[in-house]
Amino acid sequence: MTLDQLINEIETRELEFKEKPNPALFKTLSAFANTNGGVVFIGVSDKKEITGYRCSNADLKELSDTIVNKLAIHPVIEPVKCDGKTILRIDVKKSKNPIAYEGRYYSRVGNTTRLMDYEELREFLISGIEWDSLPSQRGLADIDEETVRHFVRQAKSTGRLPVANEREPVIAILTRLGLMTGDQLTNAAFLLFKKKPEDPYLSDPVLRIGRFKDGATIIGDRWIAGNLFLQFVEGEEALKNFINVRYEITGETPERKEHWDYPLPALREALMNALVHRDYFKKNEQILIKIYDDKIWFHNPGGLPKGLSIEQLKEKPQSVPRNPLIARIFYLAGYIESYGSGIQRIVTSFADAGLPDPEFQTDAWSLALTMKMDILTEEYLVQQGLNEQQVKAVIYVKKHGRITNKEFIALIPQKVTTKTASRNLKKLCDLGILTQIGTSGKGTYYILSSPRVLSMRT
């Protein structure tokens, strides 16, 4: 792109025009340095008129010194020609350190320079700092030795830590695992292997799981404290206690078959992801899991790493752990199968079970996951007033994916007419349970409505 073409561009996240140096210029340079870098042209009005700028050596030195003194950055400054006039181009790179102007920090949002609020600034200042690798204020006396040795046995059984010796002193084991900084525990070491506190309400990070009858009525509440291994085990137990399971005896094997409301592998994965990827800088926030009659809601302090989206993680596993030491220990113990595949595994588990797709919501501060159960059970359908023929039709569609008038007639032992079949299928469409594909004739068939439609109807 030529200079003339660049001047004709609109202002963007990485491009801005100024007629002359002013406080807004320094705020913009701060924002560029704190975001992705950018270019400022001085000598161009808001109306894109080339007004020009003095570019003597003295002028350039004065501006350069001012930028260094006010922002402590060294951008590239050079005069350029445009429409027969001289303007000034200032190129700013993204800074590794936060850049303030007059004690305030700015960021670039779209084509706007904005003052960071407290939460944005906090996130920005700690970005790149791994909480789990920082030294802990706790000592070896706070570590549960049996949990450490149990971990070593687990890691050896997985084949991921074959040469470990559980009889070594605990400090030697933790040092070999990279969980010590000199003679100090890391935060990861303490959180992974700490002793269970006597009072969970006054402890370090806890896991809270509640069973709700509706938005306000709590019928079960668990505060789970202790080390992360204990939180995982007791958290999984609490989840299973708060959801339903049906048993099926087929006669094919002596064991009875369990049918849970939700696929257990997905629940384990979601719980593990919450414990491993939580933002532990947020000491006053908890991992929250709310269980309702028809859904489970997970809420985890800490959003996705910058540059990653849920869709990207669904399509291709990417490992950018917020707490790499904690993630590695759980991997060695066999709780994590492969890095970065958690979201894919959750989605696949629900697809395999024929359940609605899990819904993910994320921002800079948190990640929420909603799992919905299969509400179209035979008991639910009867409660909705469906007759026996209609119930059979829905169960058929759940198994085969679709149904036609002809298939409906063949499904019913009693002889029914085409008109009766159409009336029953239309009733299911009116209730939002089925959706008609096609208008009339042999090409018409019926499928289950989307999970979103079903959730709106129930």
Amino acid letter, residue 207: L
Residue 259 and residue 358 in one domain: yes
Where residue 1 falls among pLDDT bands split at 50, 70, 90? very low
Where residue 126 falls among pLDDT bands split at 50, 70, 90? confident
Which residues are CB-contacts of 2 (< 8 A; sequence separation ≥ 6)?
A: none
Pull the structure tokens for residue 233: 């085990």
Where residue 415 falls among pLDDT bands split at 50, 70, 90? confident
Q: End of a domain among 80, 102, 121?
A: 121
Determine the pLDDT at residue 387. 92
- The answer to whether residue 68 is domain-embedded is yes
Alpha helix ranges (H) inside 48-144: 57-71, 118-126
Pull the structure tokens for residue 285: 């926030």
Where residue 177 falls among pLDDT bands split at 50, 70, 90? very high
- The answer to whether residue 84 is domain-embedded is yes
Q: End of a domain among 322, 354, 372?
A: 372
- The answer to whether residue 417 is domain-embedded is yes
Where residue 7 falls among pLDDT bands split at 50, 70, 90? low
Q: Which of 320, 318, 382, 373 is nearest to 349 (CA)?
A: 373
Q: Are 411 and 396 in contact (CB under 8 A)?
A: yes
**Angle CA(143)–CA(147)–CA(152) in degrees, nearest 5?**
115
Determine the pLDDT at residue 249. 73
Residue 76 and residue 161 in one domain: no
Pull the structure tokens for residue 235: 């958290």
CA 189/CA 175 separation, integer angstroms: 10
Q: End of a domain among 121, 153, 177?
A: 121
Residue 323 and residue 224 in one domain: yes
- The answer to whether residue 126 is domain-embedded is no
Residue 247 and residue 177 in one domain: no
Determine the pLDDT at residue 164. 86
Query: What is the H or E stretch that residue 4 is in?
Result: helix 3-7
Residue 456 has pLDDT above 50, yes or no: no
CA 130/CA 323 separation, integer angstroms: 6
Residue 166 and residue 227 in one domain: no
Each as own residue / partner, the long-range contacts of residues 289-292 (CB below 8 Å, 24 or more positions apart, any chain) are: 289/207, 289/208, 289/209, 289/210, 289/235, 289/239, 290/210, 290/212, 291/209, 291/210, 291/211, 291/212, 291/220, 291/239, 291/242, 291/243, 292/212, 292/213, 292/214
Residue 261 and residue 344 in one domain: yes
Q: Domain limits at 312?
A: 202-372
Q: Are 20 and 14 in contact (CB under 8 A)?
A: no
Q: Which residue, chain included where needed, has tokens 């030697």? A: 172
Residue 201 has pLDDT above 80, yes or no: no
| Over residues 226-250, mean pLDDT | 91
- The answer to whether residue 321 is domain-embedded is yes
Residue 174 has pLDDT above 60, yes or no: yes
Supply the CATH number for residue 440's domain.
1.10.10.10
Determine the pLDDT at residue 8. 62
Q: Are 158 and 108 in contact (CB under 8 A)?
A: no
Residue 182 has pLDDT above 50, yes or no: yes
351 against 420, higher pLDDT: 420
- The answer to whether residue 127 is domain-embedded is no
| Over residues 158-185, mean pLDDT | 92
| Over residues 288-315, mean pLDDT | 83
Supply the CATH number for residue 207's domain.
3.30.565.60
Residue 439 and residue 315 in one domain: no
Determine the pLDDT at residue 392. 92
Where residue 458 falls among pLDDT bands split at 50, 70, 90? very low
| Over residues 16-27, mean pLDDT | 92
- Written in H, E and C, the secondary structure of 281-349 is CCCCCCEEEEECCCEEEEEEECCCCCCCCHHHHHHCCCCCCCCHHHHHHHHHCCCCCCCCCHHHHHHHH
Residue 137 and residue 69 in one domain: no
Amino acid letter, residue 103: G
Supply the CATH number for residue 70's domain.
3.30.950.30
Residue 294 and residue 400 in one domain: no
153 against 203, higher pLDDT: 153
Residue 210 and residue 347 in one domain: yes
Number of domains in the chain: 4
Residue 154 and residue 258 in one domain: no
Q: How many other C-beta atoms can be found within 10 angstroms of the C-beta atom of residue 367?
A: 22
Q: Are 394 and 451 in contact (CB under 8 A)?
A: no
Residue 451 and residue 400 in one domain: yes
In terms of C-beta density within 10 A (0-12 exposed, 13-18 middle, 19 or more buried), how is residue 176 classed?
Answer: middle
- The answer to whether residue 186 is domain-embedded is yes
Residue 224 has pLDDT above 60, yes or no: yes
Using CA atoms, how far residue 278 sits from 131, 270, 298, 322, 447, in Å, is: 10, 12, 12, 7, 39
Residue 324 has pLDDT above 80, yes or no: yes
- List beta partners, residue 312: none
| Over residues 91-107, mean pLDDT | 89
CA 385/CA 150 separation, integer angstroms: 54
Determine the pLDDT at residue 252. 67
